[in-house]
Amino acid sequence: MTDENFKQALTDNNKTIVKYFAGWCGSCRLFSPKFKRLSNDSRFENISFVDVDAEKNPEARKLAGVTNLPFFAVFEGDKLVKAVATSKEDAVVELLQHLN
């Protein structure tokens, strides 16, 4: 996702989780397979999983109030529900449960 299509993607999807990352972020790279696995988890099949490069998309970053990386935010429509900076899968699952 980019600043150009981010808001539209949130509006088009009722429930979205966004992973904010940067190319230099080792923890972000390590979390990628976990994020992919969660996106295929049947518990979360009604949630859209989206990646945003936090360095290249300042508007998308501001919408979630990104403070550190990796950073995860859940949205209902274009409304931010909750966000957390973490590299722990349990914390991301807990965040996803706010949308179910």
pLDDT in tens, the chain (100 residues): 999 999 999 999 999 999 999 999 999 999 999 999 999 999 999 999 999 999 999 999 999 999 999 999 999 999 999 999 999 999 999 999 989 7
β-pairing verdict for 71-76 and 79-85:
antiparallel
Q: Taking the alpha carbons of 4, 34, 79, 100 in that order, is the dihedral positive or negative?
A: positive
Q: In the prediction, which pLDDT does 100 show? A: 74
Domains along the sequence of the chain with CATH: 3-96 (3.40.30.10)
Task: Read off the amino acid at residue 52.
Answer: V
